[in-house]
Amino acid sequence: MVDNIIQKTNFYFISFSILLFLSSCNQESENEFYLPAEWEPQTGVIVGGLDDYAAFEMIVQLSKETQVYSIFLDSLEEFYRNKLVNAGANLDSIHLIPSSTEYNYAERDGILFMKNKSGQKQIVNFEWNCYGWYFEPDYKNYLDGDKKKRKSYLANHLNTFKYPVIFSSMVNEGGAIETNGKGTILQVESVNMQRNPKMNKAAQEAELKRILNAKKVIWLKEGAAEDPFGWGTLIAENYFGIGVKGHLDEFCRFVNENTILISFPDSLEAAHDPVKHITLERMKVNYEILKNATDQDGKPFTIIKMPVPDVNYMTFALDTINKNDEIKFLSQQILYEQKKFSVGDTVHFVPSSSYLNFLITNKTVFAAKYWEEGKSENAKVKDEKARQILQHYFPDKIIYPINTAETNHRGGGLHCWSMQVPK
């Protein structure tokens, strides 16, 4: 009789202990913050670039489905309000955030939002060094002004989104981070090592796991050649570009927790284009890394090759007094950066164009398109192929293509100029 009582007591004690343990684990899981995937529910989207054609079109369309936040120079409030109203935007959904300082860097590279299953949110603020340009001697005079602008930019966001903030001394940018929302994130060695020359890969990985609660970090080697480092950067022969050295949102994106799209030129076009040739060779390496990688649970990925858009490179003779502002600006940058070139030399400017610089929202995927009247039929075919791939992975969302040529010429894209605010 006593033995039976003891056995029952032990059983109840063990059962209670198990339930207590499981409850504790569940509570810990509920309160653990993580970097959400972009396809998870959102309360709104931050979009910069009210003067950018593609970003502005995206703001107008976004205002019809969610809350939109956009920083603007406070002296231009009436101008932007009228512009938005005339474009048919839902002004009730747009939160214009006034700033005394104009800041032209991509929204994606500012703050990051994390959340937990209890609905709490927090903000991550990585260190910033202007895409590594702080290390360039010629930019020393530029640094103080940039730091002041960045400080004002952060203050505007932190006053708007009043969540706890976690700071990291590691330099990182949102365009250089991809997550599947389950604990696996992608990083690019060429970007991270250039931004953090005194921090080895192991230390960076430890910091990513600490700050973002990442369970697994997959390191790709290099980004697309169309996204080079700095202004007026020589890519190949006399081909130049503007970029940040290889952000992931130009060449590699998650579309669900186990499927990755990768930008992949075909061998024929790469054979006739020195820039695409470099990109193809880099993507072959990245593809092999992804093919042999697994997620946080040891599962392999499905990897889908995405076309590289047909873009007409801008060909011109270097001319620092040209009436065309873009030619004048690019000529000045190229001649300043590349001493072996002279006024009159013919060069090709390569905009950082990609079908992977798309933004996923609650109802829509905002995607890049490149074909317009007068362009090749092949460009139209590629646009449609990219659209079909996105529609396949987001069957319940509208695929909304926007011509991003102007944005690409400035070194960005739809994803660069935006940041989702998770629900």
Length of the chain as a residue count: 423
Residues of the chain with pLDDT under 70: 1-29, 138-140
Residue 273 is predicted with a pLDDT of: 96
Residue 92 is predicted with a pLDDT of: 97
Count how many domains the chain has: 1
pTM, 2 dp: 0.91
Closest to 351 (Cα-Cα) out of 308, 272, 405: 405
Residue 24 is predicted with a pLDDT of: 46
Residue 136 is predicted with a pLDDT of: 74
- Is 174 domain-assigned? yes
Q: Which domain holds residue 377?
A: 36-313+351-422
Residue 87 is predicted with a pLDDT of: 97
Closest to 275 (Cα-Cα) out of 286, 287, 290, 263: 263
For 394, list phi and psi in degrees, rounded to 5: -130, 65
- Is 167 domain-assigned? yes
Sheet with 184-188: strands ordered across: 178-179, 184-188, 216-220
Q: Cβ contacts of residue 110 below 8 Å, gap of 6+?
A: 46, 153, 154, 157, 174, 419
- Is 10 domain-assigned? no
- Is 322 domain-assigned? no
- Is 61 domain-assigned? yes
List the CATH number of the domain containing 411.
3.75.10.10
Closest to 335 (Cα-Cα) out of 246, 240, 235, 237: 240
pLDDT for 363-412, tens place per residue? 999 999 999 998 899 999 999 999 999 999 999 999 999 999 999 998 89
